[in-house]
Amino acid sequence: MPELPEVEIVKQSLSKKIERKKIKKIIITNRNLRFKIPLKFEELLKNKIIKKVTRFSKYLILNFSDGSFCLIHLGMSGTIHLIKKNNLNNFTNTSFYNSSCLPKKHNHVEIHFEGLKVIYNDPRRFGFFKFIESKEALIERFNHLGPEPFFKNFDLKYLLKYFLNKKKDIKSFLLDQKFVSGIGNIYASEILFLCKINPTIAAMKLSKEDCKNIILFSKKVLNRAIKKGGSSIRDFRDTHGKSGNFQKEFKAYQRENLNCVRSKCTGKIKKIFICNRSTFFCNTCQK
């Protein structure tokens, strides 16, 4: 699943191409995504002008000039493709998941602009599109989610209060979007490695220093991943044929049985499963 850095890369790509453009038409070939796209969806979006493209957590948000919004979630396998009129660019994918070029199958939604169209492809159909009528409705839609690591309220006071008497392991908390929004499996392993925290430890046992490190390295890891263009863990490319490079800097994720990268550590990276997700950690320095 695309995590916060990969969705941020999609947002940046779309911002450059579709902001201030008017939607000419919408073509839907399959309404049966995670939530069925309503029959009136095409009419709701037609002639809307995109004021801005923003992101919250793993959600893309098309901000329309009339104060309404379109929420887009990529699910497990969704990708956004940009197709320019009379442009033979082979690389269409704005993110780094699945095909770098527009696939022939599973293209479910097309958003047409003047000289450009955006295509949503999703083989597993876990993503969704949702029209939101107002700012108040958008805020309410996200009420169940925790703050992003970049938000000011993701601070020591918040963590200490949230973790009080909590026996659940810290890795599960980092994946819990009700606690913090946007961190997924890849970056959770990287954050905990840099914090020298064992992923199985109960949250209630973390010290203040541990919590400070979680806040610090959550920001650092995600910012670094965004700067490096996300993580291409298969053969992923952006619209210029450039792959994300953060995977070259993995300290723990997918490094099972390799030596720990810390110079004075003699440990090895081990792989376990937490909440049915692969978890990587050093068996020596992450105690």
| More reliable by pLDDT, 163 or 246 | 163
User: Within this chain, do residues 132 and 10 fall inside the same structural domain, yes or no?
Assistant: yes
The DSSP annotation for 222-250 comes to HHHHHHTT---SSS---TTSPPP-GGGG-
Stretch among 9-13, 23-27, 88-92, 271-275 having the lowest mean pLDDT: 88-92
Residues 126 and 162 in one domain: no
Cα–Cα distance for residue pair 271/256, rounded to 1 Å: 6
Which residue, among 120, 124, 127, has the nearest Cα to 102 in the 3D structure? 120
Domain at 236, CATH number: 1.10.8.50
Shared domain check, 105 and 73: yes
Same domain, 120 and 212: no
Residues 132, 278: Cα–Cα separation, whole Å: 35
- Burial class (CB within 10 angstroms; exposed 0-12, middle 13-18, buried 19+) of 47: exposed
Q: Range of 93's domain? A: 4-141
Residue 274 lies in a domain: yes
Q: Extract the tokens encoding 38.
A: 């309503």
Residues tagged active-site: 2-3, 58, 277
Rg (C-alpha) for the chain, rounded Å, is 20
Is 258 inside a domain boundary?
yes
- Res 98: pLDDT: 64
| pLDDT over 70 (residue 244) | no
Taking a C-beta distance cutoff of 8 angstroms, is the pair 105, 77 a contact? no
Residue 80 and residue 16 in one domain: yes
* Per-residue b or e along 6-24, where b marks 16 or more CB atoms closer than 10 Å to that residue's CB: bbbbbbebbeebbeebebe
Query: Are both 176 and 263 inside the same structural domain?
Result: yes
Answer yes or no: is 151 within a domain: no
Residue 150 in any domain: the answer is no
Are 96 and 213 within one domain? Answer: no
Query: Looking at 114, 141, 168, which one is the last position of a domain?
Result: 141
Does residue 197 share a domain with residue 135? no
In terms of domains, do 129 and 173 share one? no
Q: The pTM is what?
A: 0.88
Residue 67 above 70 pLDDT? yes
CATH number, position 45: 3.20.190.10
Q: 120 pairs with which residues across the strands?
A: 80, 109
Do 66 and 118 share a domain, yes or no? yes
pLDDT tens for each residue of 164-189 = 999 999 999 999 999 999 999 999 99
Q: Phi and psi dihedrals of 137, rounded to 5?
A: -70, -35
What amino acid occupies position 46? K
What is the domain count for the chain?
A: 2
When pLDDT is cut at 50, 70 and 90, the band that residue 96 belongs to is low
**Mean pLDDT across the stretch 34-47?**
96
